[in-house]
Amino acid sequence: MTATNTVSGLMGIQSTSDAVAWPNVGLQRRTTYGGVSGNAIRPIALRDVSAIGNALPGFPILATGGIDSADAGLQFLHAGATLLQVPPTPHSIGLLHIIMSYHKTYYGARHP
């Protein structure tokens, strides 16, 4: 199970007399909801991982959304995640090595 990749959001409402959504396009100033992800949804994703882990002990959970550091990754593992999705950035490999090293030290033989 994946928890949580993207949530729906609206960028904002312009503080003008007609209070239109921003961004808007064309003469009719139309807009749509977009995806919010990354650090902005980490609290939501941590809650979801924790809730799933508590409701379904041992069920595999892929944590996504806001894993941009070893600390963030470890938070998800402590919340109950069994796998992590990290963004494809130049520091991702180093991030994974830190997380794997800590996980192995912390959990030892309890988890493969």
pLDDT in tens, 11-27: 666 666 677 666 677 77
**Rounded to an integer, what distance in angstroms lies between the CA atom of residue 68 and that of residue 99?**
11
- List pLDDT tens digits, range 37-96: 888 899 999 999 999 999 999 899 999 888 888 888 889 999 999 988 887 776 667 777
